[in-house]
């Protein structure tokens, strides 16, 4: 492989990564603009989720809705398809159980992390458990799966040939965005020195890779939204 080939390939990879970074920065700025207007994370998810639902409705009116599984699964029997679904749901439940156990590593550090990270997460107009549950089960899954899988994953596929790289990048941004949503100049110093913050980030990245891997296999955003909602439901019970 010549130096010229390596140089141009490396430049292409760098440019594609910069495009992805620019896209995610724009999404982050858009989120913060809406948050500044609503002053509420639940309303943020609600507004963006409603926009996405409208987009998906228009999309499926123009293009026929995809089947439960794409062509990769067409050769599978009915029984095998639902075994795969069961396996995916069990993995999701296991990840939530591991996330719960991680909170027990250091209760004191975890309490500090929660206090500094989420003390304003439900401030504003909507401030009751019902709307927070609806947000967790509907608005947030629709918003996050559409942004990080339906849009970002398909964008990554256009930029890179390696699907595993696409899965990791989608999962990485999913985790980073979850912590950027509550980091500010007041809690930055405390969170950076709190190891429960880093454990939380790693767990969110793992969840992001799990959802991205699922989407890479099914190519069906509706399955991802359902599984994401399912894992959030487990978290509510745990």
Which pLDDT score, from 0 to 100, does residue 205 have?
Answer: 93
pLDDT in tens, 160-219: 888 888 899 889 988 888 887 778 788 888 888 888 999 999 999 999 999 999 998 888
- Tell me which of 15-19, 61-65, 105-109, 188-192 is least confident: 61-65
Least confident of 24-28, 40-44, 154-158: 40-44
**Residue ranges covered by each domain of the chain:** 3-237
pLDDT at 8: 44
- Cβ atoms of 204 and 174 within 8 Å: the answer is yes
Residue range 38-57: average pLDDT?
62
Average pLDDT, the chain: 76
The answer to whether the pTM exceeds 0.85 is: no
Q: Using the predicted structure, report yes or no on whether residue 6 has a pLDDT greater than 50.
A: no
Q: Residue 121 has what pLDDT? A: 47
């Amino acid at each position: 492989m010549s130096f010229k080939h390596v140089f141009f390939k490396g430049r292409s990879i760098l440019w594609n990564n910069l495009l992805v970074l620019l896209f995610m920065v724009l999404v982050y700025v858009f989120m913060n603009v809406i948050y500044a207007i609503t002053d509420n994370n639940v309303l943020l998810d609600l507004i963006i989720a409603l926009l996405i639902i409208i987009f998906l409705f228009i999309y499926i009116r123009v293009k026929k809705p995809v089947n439960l599984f794409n062509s990769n699964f067409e050769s599978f029997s009915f029984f095998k398809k639902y075994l795969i679904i069961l396996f995916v749901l069990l993995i999701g439940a296991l990840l939530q159980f591991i996330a719960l156990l991680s909170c027990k590593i250091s209760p004191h550090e975890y309490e500090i992390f929660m206090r500094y990270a989420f003390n304003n997460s439900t401030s504003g107009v909507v401030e009751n458990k019902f709307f927070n549950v609806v947000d967790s089960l509907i608005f947030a899954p629709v918003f996050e799966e559409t942004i990080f899988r339906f849009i970002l994953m398909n964008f990554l596929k256009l930029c890179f040939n390696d699907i595993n790289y696409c899965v990791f990048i989608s999962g990485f941004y999913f985790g980073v965005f979850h912590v950027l949503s509550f980091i500010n100049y007041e809690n930055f110093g405390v969170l950076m020195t709190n190891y429960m913050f880093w454990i939380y980030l790693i767990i969110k990245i793992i969840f992001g890779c799990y959802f991205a891997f699922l989407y890479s296999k099914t190519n069906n955003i509706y399955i991802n939204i359902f599984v994401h909602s399912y894992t959030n439901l487990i978290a509510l019970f745990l």
